[in-house]
Amino acid sequence: MQVIPTPAQWRQMRLQLLQSQKSIGLVPTMGALHQGHLDLVHQSIEKCDFTIVSIFVNPTQFNNSADFQKYPQSLAEDLDLLKAAGVDAVFVPTVETMYPSPTKLQLNFGSLEQVLEGAFRPGHFNGVGIVVAKLFHMIQPDYAFFGQKDLQQVAVIRRLVEDMSFPLSLQIVPTRREVDGLAMSSRNRRLNPTQRKSALILYQSLQEAKALLLQRYAWEKVKEGAELIFQKNEEVELEYFSLVESDTFEILEDYLPEKKTSICVAAYLEDIRLIDNIPINS
């Protein structure tokens, strides 16, 4: 496994891959890797001739500087995991490499900026879009792998690929969960034992809401019940609990079986923000 710090070094390697007609899979990450990341890696290895993982904690997508400072980083451990998984190369650029000068470009993803993550984290998707576009330009992969846990981010990146005509195929991998159902996230490392137990409310509330919707309960009543569950848990502060069309993130007033629908949730445990989602139909 080769560790590559600069785009110039990668371009030399990519030229050899092109000459050999080998397909390239990219797995973009911010490090602090867990099994969910490795699921993306395994999908890439299975589908592509060559897999490259990027590790870069992107400062421009954090609208909270404290969250950026506290984001877990474990590069040495991450590299060991990726080597054991069979990754071919890891791109580990510095902030100066990715942003040699302040970025003046602003990306606006329309309605995706106005709901849920877009509304509660202003500027977040601009930062995501810019760094992902940079990675796509630098790496020029044939396939790029992302996790379903960040469902709205997937919608944003899909829009980016379509509108900017990036010549690659997006591959979306299902959410990996702990045995008790908690969605795997790098931020889980920051949870103390009490918070870790309380965090289960996110997935439990999603499961209960999905079951009720499939029994044709009205969304208004389902949402009220979920919000009441959160109110009873003093450890967790609910930010949103919403029913959306899975691709466009149109907010839905009720469940319609003919629409591709998901329930999305975000909540705080002190200063640790977690998100999750569950599809109702695919």
Catalytically active residues are 37
What tokens appear for 265 in the block? 């949730």
**Strand-pair category, 169-173 with 2-4:** unpaired
Query: What helix, strand, coil percent values describe the chain, rounded to 5?
Result: 45, 20, 35
The reply to whether 61 sits in an annotated binding site is: yes
| HSE-CB of 208 using CA atoms within 13 angstroms | 18
Q: Are strands 261-269 and 272-279 parallel, antiparallel or unpaired?
A: antiparallel
31 annotated as belonging to a binding site for a ligand: yes
Residues 194 and 236 sit within 8 Å (Cβ to Cβ)? no
Check whether 127 is labelled as a binding-site residue: no
Token duo for residue 66: 């404290």
Is 37 assigned a ligand-binding role in the annotation?
yes
* 148 carries a ligand binding annotation: yes
Residue whose pair of structure tokens reads 């050899």 in the numeric block: 16
Q: Is 187 labeled as ligand-binding? A: yes
The reply, when asked if residue 36 is annotated as ligand binding, is yes
Annotated ligand binding at 184? The verdict is: yes
Using alpha carbons, select from 258, 259, 263 the residue that is nearest to residue 276: 263
Is 186 part of any known ligand binding site? yes
Residues 6 or more apart from 188 whose CB is under 8 A from it?
34, 182, 196, 199, 274
Q: Is 91 exposed, middle or buried (0-12, 13-18, 19+ CB in 10 A)?
A: buried
Q: Which two tokens stand for residue 267?
A: 């909540």
For residue 168, say whether it is annotated as part of any ligand binding site. Answer: no
- In the numeric block, the tokens 């848990």 are attached to 233
- 218 marked as binding residue: no
Q: Determine whether the annotation assigns residue 225 to a binding site.
A: no
267 assigned to a ligand binding site: no
Known binding residues for beta-alanine: 61
Residues marked as binding? 30-37, 61, 147-150, 153, 184-187
